[in-house]
Chains A and B, each alone.
Chain A
Amino acid sequence: EDKVVQSPLSLVVHEGDTVTLNCSYEVTNFRSLLWYKQEKKAPTFLFMLTSSGIEKKSGRLSSILDKKELSSILNITATQTGDSAIYLCAVLRYAGNMLTFGGGTRLMVKP
């Protein structure tokens, strides 16, 4: 059975801090790992990672995959209150139509 574990469960930081969120997985025939941000309703897509060691970046957010360690990290630099959300990690396997999600990390950024 595919398994995705995210840590920490929750995190409280102050504006300007840098945070690192972790995602580890156990999945047969791994194809890709995806990160989503969920503020109040629909999760919105952030990154998709398929290759080890190649950083994806969007503004203050960046993410990298380590296939050897079966994990990924999501970094947010210079955090802002608008970064407060649940961050979800999911994996997709080859020949599969389904994403397996982790339990999420709840990030709260205080002013």
Chain B
Amino acid sequence: SQTIHQWPATLVQPVGSPLSLECTVEGTSNPNLYWYRQAAGRGLQLLFYSVGIGQISSEVPQNLSASRPQDRQFILSSKKLLLSDSGFYLCAWKRTGTGGHEQYFGPGTRLTVT
């Protein structure tokens, strides 16, 4: 079976500090990977997605970046955090090819920028 991990679970960082959130998937190969942000218990905003190693598509211009150094690893980064970066960050994966349309989510990281 497949599992998806995210860490850390919670993070409090000062404005201007760097950020690195990590997501890994087990039990599947060549998944599509996604980073979302969710503000105040509302809908999900897609930030980045990746269909393969080194392939990143950005959906919203901001001071965040993403990288996919390995097939099942997806990293969200920032060089300098802003207050507006606070939120709940979710990573998700989806089967490629003719697999299902559904995405499966990790447990999330709650980021507070102070």
A residues apposed to B, CB below 8 Å: 4, 6, 31-32, 34, 36, 41-45, 48, 50, 86, 88, 90, 92, 97-104, 106
Q: How large is the interface on B (under 10, 10 to 19, 20 to 34, 35 or more residues)?
A: 20 to 34
* B41 neighbours in A (Cβ, 8 Å): 86, 104, 106
> In the bound complex, do residue A41 and residue B107 qualify as a contact, i.e. CB atoms below 8 Å apart?
yes
* B86-114 vs A, Cβ < 8 Å mask (1 yes, 0 no): 00001000100000111111111000000
B residues apposed to A, CB below 8 Å: 32, 34, 36, 41-46, 49, 51, 59, 90, 94, 100-108
Contact A45:B43 (CB < 8 A) given known A97-B49, A98-B59? no
The A interface, classified by DSSP as helix, strand, loop or mixed, is strand
> In the bound complex, do residue B108 and residue A41 qualify as a contact, i.e. CB atoms below 8 Å apart?
yes
> In the bound complex, do residue A34 and residue B43 qualify as a contact, i.e. CB atoms below 8 Å apart?
no
> In the bound complex, do residue B105 and residue A103 qualify as a contact, i.e. CB atoms below 8 Å apart?
no
Query: Which chain B residue shows the least CB distance to A9?
Result: B42
